[in-house]
C-alpha cells in the first residue's frame, strides 16, 4: 500500500515538532526515517496510524485522506511496533502476539496457529516461549515479540519505531538480517524509524533524513552517502565512503577482466560480498587485486583498487 505525507505540520505549544513534511513510501518499500533525537521521527510515524493528527497537511494511504476513514478500519491495515517494545506485562507471549487477532475476533484455532507461525518466524521456538511472561525475556527477545505482534494480523503496512534499539550490536545485526528475510517474503510497506545510520543503510530501500521537524533529504543509501548537504555529511560521518562501499555488491559493478592463467591472482572473494569486504581483504592480505568467484567457485572477474576508487567517486 502506498503512503504519503503531504505538507504535514504538528505544533506542540509554540514549538513546531514537524514542519511542512512531505514524503511518500511506495508499495512494498522499506522506508527508513533517521535523524537526531527529538527531530520528529515518532511524531511523523504516528501520523500514519492517527495516534497524532497533523495540524496542517494531510496523510494519504492509497491516495485516500486517512482523516476521512473510520479509525478502526484504517488501523486494521497497520502493524505498529512501538519504541521501547511495550509488551503487556499481564499477558504471556502468545497472548501478547494475539492481541490484535483477538480484537478482530479470529477463532481460537486460527489465533493459536498464527501465534506459533509468528514465533517461529522471529526465531523464538513456540514450545519454549508461547507461555512465557514478558518480564523473563531478554531485550532482544522482547523486541522480536514486538515485531511478531505487529505482524500478527498480516497488515499490509508496518510501522516500526526503533524496533531493535535496545540490544547489543551483534543481536541487532541478527534481528536486522531476520527482518530483511521476513520482509523479502512478505513485501510489506514499511516505515522504519532508527537513529542508527548503519541500520538505516543495511535495511532501507530509501532513507529519509530529518532535522528539527523537517525533511532534509530522502534518497537511496548509496545517494545519501554521496550527498554534499552539510547536515547530511555531518550525520553520515567521516567514514561515509566506507559505509557506501558496504552497500554495493561486487557483482553489481563493472569488474576488471579476469587474468587468464589457471592460477589467477592469489586471493579470491565471492561476487556476493560487498566492496567494503573486498577492500578489507585487500588491506589484510596486502593485495591490489582479488579474483572474484561465483557460488560454484568459478572465477568471473577481478576487482582492483582502481575499481574501488572509481566507485568511491560515485562512478
Instruction: State the residues that interact with ligand ATP by CB under 6 A.
Output: 12, 17, 35, 37-43, 83, 195
Instruction: Decide which of ligand ATP, Mg ion, none touches 12; Cβ closer than 5 to 8 Å per partner kind.
Output: ligand ATP
Instruction: Decide which of ligand ATP, Mg ion, none touches 155; Cβ closer than 5 to 8 Å per partner kind.
Output: none
* Sequence-ordered list of residues with C-beta below 8 angstroms from that of 254, at least 6 positions apart, any chain: 307
Instruction: Decide which of ligand ATP, Mg ion, none touches 203; Cβ closer than 5 to 8 Å per partner kind.
Output: none
CB of 159 to ligand ATP, least distance (A): 12
CA distance 163 to 144: 8
Q: Name the residue among 180, 162, 154, 164 with its Cα closest to residue 78.
A: 154
CA distance 173 to 240: 19
Instruction: Decide which of Mg ion, ligand ATP, none touches 37; Cβ closer than 5 to 8 Å per partner kind.
Output: ligand ATP
* Sequence-ordered list of residues with C-beta below 8 angstroms from that of 101, at least 6 positions apart, any chain: 110, 111, 114, 152, 153
Residues at the site binding Mg ion, with contacts judged by CB under 5 A: 42
CA distance 145 to 134: 9
Give Cα 98 to chain centroid, integer Å: 24
| Cβ-contact 93, 134 below 8 angstroms | yes
Instruction: Decide which of Mg ion, ligand ATP, none touches 40; Cβ closer than 5 to 8 Å per partner kind.
Output: ligand ATP
Using the minimum distance from each CB to ligand ATP, give the nearer residue, 83 or 220. 83
| Cβ-contact 114, 121 below 8 angstroms | no
CB of 42 to Mg ion, least distance (A): 3
Using the minimum distance from each CB to ligand ATP, give the nearer residue, 189 or 194. 194
Q: Name the residue among 241, 303, 242 with its Cα closest to residue 272.
A: 303
| Consecutive H or E run containing 117 | helix 108-121
CB of 144 to ligand ATP, least distance (A): 20
CB of 147 to ligand ATP, least distance (A): 18
Instruction: Decide which of ligand ATP, Mg ion, none touches 38; Cβ closer than 5 to 8 Å per partner kind.
Output: ligand ATP
CB of 49 to ligand ATP, least distance (A): 14
Using the minimum distance from each CB to ligand ATP, give the nearer residue, 231 or 267. 231
Using the minimum distance from each CB to ligand ATP, give the nearer residue, 195 or 233. 195
Using the minimum distance from each CB to ligand ATP, give the nearer residue, 17 or 232. 17
Using the minimum distance from each CB to ligand ATP, give the nearer residue, 43 or 81. 43
Q: Could you tell me the end-to-end alpha-carbon distance of the chain, in angstroms, rounded to an integer?
A: 34
Give Cα 59 to chain centroid, integer Å: 21
CB of 193 to Mg ion, least distance (A): 6
Amino acid at each position: 500500500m502506498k503512503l504519503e505525507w503531504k505538507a504535514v505540520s504538528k505544533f506542540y505549544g509554540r514549538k513546531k515538532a514537524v514542519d511542512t513534511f512531505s514524503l511518500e513510501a511506495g508499495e512494498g518499500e522499506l522506508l527508513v526515517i533517521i535523524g537526531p533525537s527529538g527531530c520528529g521521527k515518532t511524531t511523523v510515524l504516528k501520523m500514519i496510524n492517527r495516534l497524532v493528527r497533523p495540524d496542517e497537511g494531510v496523510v494519504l494511504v492509497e491516495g485516500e485522506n486517512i482523516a476521512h476513514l473510520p479509525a478502526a478500519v484504517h488501523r486494521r491495515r497497520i502493524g505498529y511496533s512501538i519504541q521501547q517494545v511495550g509488551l503487556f506485562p499481564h499477558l504471556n507471549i502468545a497472548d501478547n502476539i494475539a492481541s490484535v487477532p483477538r480484537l478482530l475476533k479470529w477463532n481460537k484455532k486460527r489465533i493459536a496457529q498464527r501465534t506459533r507461525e509468528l514465533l517461529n518466524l522471529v526465531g523464538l521456538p513456540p514450545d519454549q516461549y508461547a507461555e512465557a511472561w514478558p518480564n523473563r525475556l531478554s531485550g532482544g527477545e522482547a523486541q522480536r515479540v514486538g515485531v511478531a505482534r505487529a505482524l500478527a494480523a498480516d497488515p499490509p503496512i508496518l510501522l516500526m519505531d526503533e524496533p531493535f534499539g535496545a540490544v547489543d550490536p551483534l543481536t541487532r545485526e541478527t534481528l536486522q538480517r531476520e527482518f530483511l528475510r521476513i520482509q523479502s517474503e512478505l513485501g510489506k510497506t514499511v516505515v522504519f524509524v532508527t537513529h542508527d545510520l548503519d541500520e538505516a543503510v543495511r535495511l532501507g530501500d530509501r532513507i529519509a533524513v530529518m532535522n528539527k521537524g523537517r525533511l532534509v533529504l530522502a534518497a537511496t543509501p548509496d545517494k545519501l552517502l554521496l550527498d554534499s548537504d552539510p547536515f547530511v555529511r555531518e550525520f553520515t560521518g567521516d567514514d561515509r565512503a566506507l559505509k557506501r562501499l558496504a552497500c554495493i555488491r561486487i557483482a553489481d559493478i563493472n569488474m576488471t577482466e579476469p587474468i587468464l592463467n589457471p592460477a589467477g591472482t592469489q586471493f579470491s572473494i565471492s561476487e556476493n560480498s560487498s566492496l567494503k569486504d573486498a577492500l578489507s581483504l585487500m588491506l589484510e592480505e596486502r593485495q591490489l587485486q582479488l579474483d572474484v568467484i561465483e557460488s560454484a567457485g568459478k572465477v568471473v572477474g577481478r576487482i582492483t583498487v582502481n575499481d574501488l576508487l572509481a566507485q568511491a567517486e560515485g562512478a
